[in-house]
A = this chain, B = another copy of it.
Amino acid sequence: MQNDQDYGNKLNPAWDEKGLITAVLTDAKTGLLLMVAHMNKESFELSMATKEATFWSRSRKKIWRKGEESGHVMKIQEIRIDCDQDTLWLKVIPMGPACHTGAQSCFYRLVEDGHLVTIPKDKI
């Protein structure tokens, strides 16, 4: 599975057939996994230039600067890319809850015995 993207210092994102890569956001201070979204080339370049997480909204089919409506901007502290360059890791300072439900993380439910269990807000 090794290829040219695994090593070296050349940024060469492995865009999928829709021109997207996955972006994983964690809280730079607490390490909490906040959300997962997608970027196309334009939104990735905007993210790097503005230091604010900007995605491609697959549902709305447009550039989506996180927080553009809610104010819950995600300020980027660090960007990493994985071995095969199809996933980004953004360490961010969140200006508000990451989730549209109001939870600080989109991952507010446990999967247990085939059901979901909602985690109390202060335990997320």
Number of copies: 2
Interface residues on A, range: 35 or more
Task: Give the contacts of A65-124 with B (CB-CB under 8 A).
Answer: 78-84, 87-89, 99-101, 103, 106-112, 114-119
A2 touches B100 (CB 8 A): yes
Q: Which residue of chain B lies nearest to A8 when distances are taken between CB atoms in the complex?
A: B116
> Is A42 part of the binding interface, using a Cβ–Cβ cutoff of 8 Å?
no
Alpha-carbon separation in the docked complex, A70 to B80 (Å): 25
List of B residues within 8 angstroms of A112 by Cβ: 79
The list of the 8 closest CB pairs from A to B, nearest first, reads: A31-B31, A82-B106, A79-B111, A80-B107, A9-B116, A36-B87, A83-B106, A89-B107
